[in-house]
Amino acid sequence: MAEEYHFYIERREADGWVLPLDFQPEPWTYESQRPFGEFAWAHPRQKWLALFWGEGALFPMRLGPPDDRRGSPLLRDLSRYYDVSHDDLGLSWIPYTDLLIDCWDTDAVTLVACAPARYALLFGDGRQSFPSTALIEAGLTGERLDRLRDGWLAREPVDNTFGRDRFRVAELPPDRMVEVTWRVSITEFVGEPHAERFKGLRRFGPDDSLRILSRR
């Protein structure tokens, strides 16, 4: 069975890390009845998790529990049953400042997916926005369009419009799958409701007084 990723918010006080007093968990969170600060969870198939884990992560999580565990409601509870210094729980964390939240609406990431060669040129040099209108006009609609839009985080753009790559794509059968890329904001990639939940955490205090814990 897949293990979901769970995210928790904590705020630093003079005597350690605590659950923000005005934090109210949403009823759909896995641990909504437990006072640990869970504000979101995600299935491992959620592609935006690559922003936090794996090679090329933009906001890499720090593996293991934080050194400062004073007062942490989550770590205090887990330590009753587990040795939290081991990796059995998939614990990780990140200072809230490392998320660069102010950039999520303005900075873009490159996504990649495979599309039939007949559509490859519609993506231009791979640095443009997703060409929804052009794809619809070319006959790609419905679930096929939605599946294509659900791309993975890419290392670099794919330019199928120039030189040898353009010639290669032109020679392929129209249904042969090729890589295409496009650009989206970080907020758009993370999607709702998760993007707003991460951005909304700053209402619990100054950015440098907050941290996010995660476990699986």
- 82 and 17 assigned to the same domain: yes
d(Cα 162, Cα 173) in Å, to the nearest integer? 18
- 14 and 88 assigned to the same domain: yes
Q: Which residues contact residue 185 at a Cβ distance below 8 angstroms, ignoring those fewer than 6 apart?
A: 104, 105, 106, 107, 108, 109
- 94 and 194 assigned to the same domain: yes
Q: So what's the pLDDT on residue 199?
A: 97
Q: So what's the pLDDT on residue 45?
A: 93
Beta carbons of 61 and 214 less than 8 angstroms apart:
yes
Q: So what's the pLDDT on residue 1?
A: 39
- 68 and 173 assigned to the same domain: no
d(Cα 135, Cα 141) in Å, to the nearest integer? 8
Q: So what's the pLDDT on residue 150?
A: 94
| 119: amino acid identity, one letter | Y
Whole-prediction pTM value?
0.89
| 54: amino acid identity, one letter | G
pLDDT digits (tens, 9 = 90+) for 11-63: 999 999 999 988 987 776 555 566 899 999 999 999 999 999 999 899 999 99
- Distance from the Cα of residue 95 to its chain's centroid: 16
- 9 and 78 assigned to the same domain: yes
- 17 and 94 assigned to the same domain: yes
Q: So what's the pLDDT on residue 87?
A: 59
All residue ranges of the chain with pLDDT < 50 are 1
Report the alpha-carbon angle 209-211-214, nearest 5: 170
Residue 115 belongs to what domain range? 108-189
Q: So what's the pLDDT on residue 168?
A: 85
- 97 and 18 assigned to the same domain: yes
Q: So what's the pLDDT on residue 22?
A: 87
| Cα-only R_g, the chain | 21
